[in-house]
A and B are shown apart, each in its own frame.
Chain A
Amino acid sequence: MKNIDSHGHVTGRSIYLDDIPTQRGTLYSVVFDAPVAHAKINHVDYSDALQVPGIERIITHEDIPGENQIGGIIPDEPLFAEDEIHFWGQPIALIVGTSEHVCRKARSLIKIETEALPVITDPREAFAKNQLICPPRTFKMGEPDAVWDACTHVFEGRADSNGQEHLYIETQGAYAWEMENGNIKIATSTQGPTAVQRTAAKVLGLSMHNIEVDVTRLGGGFGGKEDQATPWAVMVALAAKLMHRPVKISVNRMDDMRMTGKRHPYSSDYKIGLDEEGHILAYEAMIYQNSGAAADLSPAVMERTLFHCTNSYYVPNVKATAACCRTNLPPNTAFRGFGGPQGMFVMESAIAHAAHEMGIPARKIQYKNLLKDGDEFSYGQIAEHANAVKAWDDASRTYKLSAIENEVRTFNEEHHTEKKGLAIQPVCFGISFTNTQMNNARALVHVYHDGSIHVSTGAVEMGQGVNTKMLQVAMNTFGVSANRVRLDTTNTTRVANTSPTAASAGADLNGKALEIACTAILGRLQKVAAEKLNSAPERITLKKETVYIDDAPTELHWEELVMTAFSHRVSLSEKGHYATPEIHFDKSREKGHPFAYHVYGTAIIVVKVDCLRGRYVFEDVNIVHDFGKSMNTIVDLGQIEGGVVQGIGWMTLEELSFTKEGRLLSNALSTYKIPDIYAVPEVIDVKHLETAGHELAIRKSKAVGEPPLMYGLGAYFAIQNAVKAFNPGYLPKFDAPFTPEKVLLSLYEGKEIGVKSGKGALES
């Protein structure tokens, strides 16, 4: 089934935040933000700004009737800075006026006097100065210290991965207005409507029932609108309450890039021990997360880093410690993979390091250590239906790995200024919010008495196709055609207390809740049909809009059945509630069974590096992926292709750059480059791994949002292998992204060339 939203998208009729028709009297707003990264605020002078014609009001922390607090996990982040600035771009005030243009003009006239405080941008420095968001956590299994001596090989090193800008094409935004009795309605572009509702209530000094949050769709989220859509929504809600006028914000791209957090940069030390054959016996990692200036979701992101620190491998002795280090960057936040990719990068770096020293391809070590059924993860869960080996073997067979190896070797022998690199990237990703209590969802279903069906769930559509999957659940449960079902907006008055649409779990959780709701109504309809047809409810099924008895069609049509139920005063509405069974996790022991299931897959990546210019093209990315029983192959394929490209972008072109003063240099699309159509692999081939699917996945169709991003990790190692083929003197480093700059410098590292001030070898 094609994406049900695509008609609206291709005609421009889909409604995003900035497309909502504005109400009479709507005001517009712009945020005034900190022009330094860490400082005391001595004075802010708004007088000139307030003189600009069209400016109605400038709202600061002093205007907040409730709490000046938006921190989700830890209450450590003000909506507006009060006495201190903690990051460049931190909101200080909201300028409200008759147009965005006048607000921007006014912003340029605000004068701020500050007193500089020391700026930290490096997480290791923050750690050394004990600037921690929360206490570090350690996942431990076995005892690495007891086995280092028994290892034939032990290697230690450092791995760094930079952050990543979400670059949703629709920037952040929100629109709020006052309803009767001081209640506030907020239309916003958020993955977490309940977070917006809860935070707005807290800041405005209201209760949650006073705040209604409505989300039609997002022009991309990727985690960047899970927590960080909240401040804008709260700001305009506050303005609407104070000013009794509708107030809107549509954040300009450079403001968005400057003020919002990104994927966390990480810096880690690893130690890996292997036996003679390449079995990994022990692994230790100390992981420094660059959390930015406030907690945001950092502790949860750090937790998932620990969960995924050994990726798809079984390692009997593991000790991984991670720390959320407070720096003066914008608070970093969720981004597809949620810390998992960063943890896996360290492990893959350790393996690549070991392979380099041992003089064997990394894939020999990778394969030997893949998870098997019964293996224990460092957090105590036992691998079940582990498809790591199956996916690898299938990929190796389907795409003829040995032929690829030969082809790359031959190419490299025959070419001098171009070299190819091959890497294999296995992925294992756990599905569920790692915070067990969040794994629940609700759905509300009305069957109207004309037979049409109205569905609301807690899931937010952001391009991942959750609307389409929800519609499939409803139409399949009722046995009706798609045009009978309408997916409504995500609204806190229809579905309450929702978890954000995140953790790849949106379709599973909300789909299961929806299935429960639909099944309940179906049960009542079966009874009505049985009565009318003198049969028994358990013999009744609904297919093709028709009532069947024992698989034989009857004359009773869907519309007539619904009308009959309605006239018999049978409820045609239902709310379904689902809470994932089986999962649990004990943080005091760091052990448990946190994931409903794992998703597996293997990617084979081949890159070609232009050794003259340092440019590279990815030729083939061939993937065998564990979809379970995909309920929508078009939607799921799109998630894989988009995910792997986003992962490759993170590992290659996308380079966040801050000055040591904490100012973002890569602050626009002209300086921060995401893949364009020519930067993506020439071929991305995706094959479904034949598996039975999983009962805890919606219709056995496994979650697909985040796992494919991590195939992109292989891009780094493929490039590295090509560089090694060109420059035997290159010492492998693990410092993503592998930009063309780093590639060129690596290609010529250690070579005698006259490009420095004098002649000499390039530093490594």
Chain B
Amino acid sequence: MVSAVKRLAAGLLAVAGAASVGWDGAAEAQTSVKIGYAISRTGPAAGGAAVTTIPNYELWVKEVNAAGGLKLGDKRVLIEVVQYDDRSSAEEAAKALERLITQDKVDFILPPWGTGLNLAVGPILNKAGYPHIASTAVTDRAPELAKRWPNSFWLLGTSADAAKTLVELLTKLRTEGKIGDTVAMASIADGFGIDLSGAARPALTAAKFKLAYDKTYPVGTQDLSPIINEVKALNPDVFIAFSYPPDTIAITEQSRISGFNPKIFYTGVGTAFPLFKQKFGANAEGVMGIGGWNGDSPAIKDYLARHKASAANGAEPDRWASAVTYAGLQMLQQAIERVGKVDRAAVIKDLQSGTFETVIGKVKLENNMPTKYWWVGQWQDGEFYGVGPSGNEGERAPVVPKPAWKAQ
């Protein structure tokens, strides 16, 4: 019995071994660089992926191939794309990446959209030794994850940092006498809202702001008017909503309707989306939100034009993670070209230590994370400019108090 099993196992091993030798032989000649990704084309993450990630991946591949491909040594090699739909599921994303690595044998992998999925694929990319440039994940454990997985790069920073920057800006405005110290805060009961309000709460208290309102609302809440009416009655100087795109729109719309116009009006994810400007037009003016970019820089202006020309229906990028995603692709490209061959370990090393020219400026990572982020942006004259943290290149002075809502 035992010997039969052993023989069977040995036989299977031999077959598998022979098969893998055959595959290795075929993968030798480098005529193209295979880039793989699994992205959410369906499911709850599809909206974010469609705005922030997919247009940038397509733009980058199009541009690189139009220039003749990636420069490996003295020849140019075209990019070949292999892509799957992760259906917004962690299990599907994990399986798709394992398929990309072992079946399609791709040379590099681009990250999925969102915090959860980037964390789900982290161990797989780490084990297989692929660089993991997470450009749409905001997590407070980023520094720890970068240590655990040295191949992973967390370009969007931590939520604690986001909340801290916002509170710093508020403190500065209060010192300048532009705002008082009553704050109302509403947050979505999901990863993002909980993390940010969790970080903002102690920071606000430490800065001696009065937190007049601090409540959460469930994901998928359709009617946000009770929150707005309650907050309006408290007449705060600052309104902060750590919200997701649908409720960012709903909260802004409801505030406009009920004429709730605090000196600072801040909403969460989605404020930086082109959709926000389309929906609110002139009423977007003065609204603050998470993200922002240096809208005056020629690199950003050029990127905006190229993105519009490339994306379906001339869609604009969002003013937060889009440019960071594109910068991540530029970093990957520069690292590959500096190494000059498909040597993933060397590319990871270059990403850790190199300096990169990107659309968001010069980037040099420290402990696998950038040193500069845009955390607070504000719509000013139809563009979402970065207004915090102070000291970033291209920082604009915030417009406070926010102008009154106009009749639509």
Decide whether A and B assemble into one complex: no
